[in-house]
Amino acid sequence: RVDRLAEIYKPKKTTYATIQYVDFPAAGANFGKGEGPGGKFLNELARMDALIHVVRVFNDPAVPHPENSIDPARDIATMDLELAFADLAMIERRLERLTSEVRSMKAGERDQAVKLQGILERIKAQLEDEVPVRSQEISAEEEKLLAGSRFMTALPMLVLLNIGEEDLERREAIEAEAQEKYRATGRDVAVVAGKFEMELNDLSEEEAVEFRESAGVTESGMAGAIRLSYQLLGLISFLTSGPDECRAWTVEAGSSAPVAAGKIHSDLQRGFIRAEVVSFEDFVAAGSEAEAKKRGVLRTEGKEYVVKDGDIVNILFNV
C-alpha cells in the first residue's frame, strides 16, 4: 500500500511498518519427551509477542524429518506438550517459592499469596488436562496477581502448515480441516508452500504474480504471514501520505483517531481536533485527493472514530 501511494505522490521518503521475526532452530528427535530445548531457548520464546509454529506437511526424501516420518498432527502435539511442560515447571517453581515465603508474610500479603496459589493450582490442573493458558478463563483481577508470569501456552499462536507444490490445489481443504481441529485451542491456521515461494524469489515481481495466479495463489507467502501476524497480535496499519513522506503506522485494532494520532506524535493526540480519512481502496480508485473529495469518499471524523486497517489519515490539531 505504501508503494502504491508513493506512485501517486512521488514523496521524498517512504517508510514501511515493520514486524520482527526470530527464526528458532527446528525441533530435534527428543523434542516433546521432556528433553527438548533448554532454558535459554524457552526464555527466548517467552520474550516473543506471539509464536508461529511452522509445521512440515511436504514430503521430500532429500530433507529427512527427525522422526523419519511426516505427521503434522504429531508434530503439533509435540510442540504443545513441550510448551505445556515449560509452563508446568514454572508453576511448580512459583508454588514452591510461595509455600516457603507465605509464613513470613504480613496478613494482607499472605491473603494475596494464598489467592495466587489457588490461581496457579487451577491453571496447573487445566494444563494437565491439555488446556493451554490462552484457552483458560482468567479474570482481570487474576491477571494482576499473575503479573510477571510469562506462560508459554498463553502466547498467541499461528500454526503455519508448510505444504509441497503438489498439494497447492488442495491447500484450502488442508487449511479448513486443520482450522476445524485447532481453533478450539485458540490458534489460527494457515497454509504456505515454502519451496514454491522460495523458487518464486528468483523471478521478477510480475513473473512471480503470474506463477502464483496460475497455481491459484492470491498472495505471496510473506504477505500472508505478515497479514496473519497482525491479526494474531490484534494490530492494524493506517497510512499517512503527502509529497514529503508516505508512511504506514501500526496501532492496536479498535484504536480511536486520537490514539492513532499519538502514534505519529504525542502533540497530535493532545491537540487533536479532527481527522480527514479515506480508505486506501477508495483513494486508489480516485487517484488523487481532489478526486477523492469530489467523489465524497474523503470524510471528516471526530474523536470517537475507530481507525480501520488501510485508512489514509490526515490529523488536524492545535496545541
pLDDT at residue 96 tops 60: yes
Report the predicted TM-score, pTM, of the whole model to 2 decimal places: 0.82
pLDDT at residue 29 tops 90: no
Q: Which residues contact 238 (CB under 8 A, 6 or more apart)?
A: 248, 249, 251, 260, 307, 308, 309, 310, 311, 312, 313
Domains 2-16+235-317 and 22-234 share a fold: no
pLDDT at 104: 84
pLDDT at 184: 81
What homologous superfamily does CATH list for 22-234? Obg-related GTPase Ych/YyaF, coiled-coil domain (1.10.150.300)
Beta partners for residue 53, in sequence order: 159
With cut-offs at 50, 70 and 90, classify the pLDDT of residue 91: very high
- Gyration radius from the chain CA atoms: 24
Of 19-33, 135-149, 190-204, 251-265, least confident by mean pLDDT is 19-33
250: cell is 501500526
Cβ-based burial of 61 (10 A; exposed 0-12, middle 13-18, buried ≥19) = exposed
Count Cα atoms within 13 angstroms, Cβ side, for 246: 17
15: cell is 517508510
pLDDT at residue 34 tops 90: no
Could you give the residue ranges of the DSSP H alpha helices within the chain?
2-9, 39-46, 72-101, 107-128, 140-145, 171-182, 194-200, 205-214, 221-233, 257-264, 266-270, 280-286, 289-295
pLDDT at 272: 97
Q: Where are the domains of the chain?
A: 2-16+235-317, 22-234
- Protein fold of 2-16+235-317: Ubiquitin-like (UB roll) (3.10.20)
With cut-offs at 50, 70 and 90, classify the pLDDT of residue 28: low
Q: Which residues contact 126 (CB under 8 A, 6 or more apart)?
A: 133, 136
Across the chain, what does the average pLDDT equal? 90
With cut-offs at 50, 70 and 90, classify the pLDDT of residue 27: low
